[in-house]
Amino acid sequence: MQLLYLTLLLAAHCSLAATTNWGMCRDYPVQENFTMAPYLGTWYEIEQTDSEKGHRCLMEQYIVTKDNKVELLTQTVQDDGSVEIHEGELFYESNIKNPAKFHFRVSSEYERMGYLGPEPLSRFVMRYWVLATDYTTYSLVYSCTTALGITHKHYVWIMGRERHLSKNVTDSLHELLKTNNIQVTLFPTDQNNCEIKY
């Protein structure tokens, strides 16, 4: 029975991504001297590793709450024109000392959707590592999920303070991924015609 469960788990994990790799998630260099205060505010998703997303105009807002937690509000426009807003939270695990290495806990809506895939006992928590940012233009964010430490899958997001980034900036971030041997395919997020009428 355990062998069957393991086989099904690995099959599901591998079917979700072309970037599935053998082994556990690895460590990568992150932004030096990262501080949260200038990172707060609005970011727009420019590129990401999921080719099958049914949304566009993804925008994220990072807000410090009254109890000093960092809340993440994600807003997307769906293919049918409706707007969806989801909540999440950035936090540090007790054993993580690097300020650029967060964890991200998604909202209950994503939990019900099974958004994070087959990672067992994940508590719907992902890594949120800031590999590089200048705080005012771009941010390169990395995450990784694992299936029992046997396979792992990379997730990467390029974020911008505006809805579009210059090719020079995105090219330099692609090069940084290659330098760190993070092999992923990135897909552009549609950030056109994003005026939302309430």
- 38-95: per-residue pLDDT in tens? 999 999 999 999 866 667 899 999 999 887 789 999 999 887 788 888 889 998 866 6
Domains and CATH numbers, the chain: 2-188 (2.40.128.20)
pLDDT band at 139 (very low <50, low <70, confident <90, very high): very high
- The pTM score is 0.79
Q: And the tokens for 165?
A: 């980034």
In b/e form, how buried is each residue of 7-40, taking b as 16+ CB within 10 angstroms?
eebbeebeebbeebbeeebeebebbeebeeeebe
Q: Is 113's pLDDT higher than 50?
A: no
Q: Residue 10: is its pLDDT beyond 60?
A: no
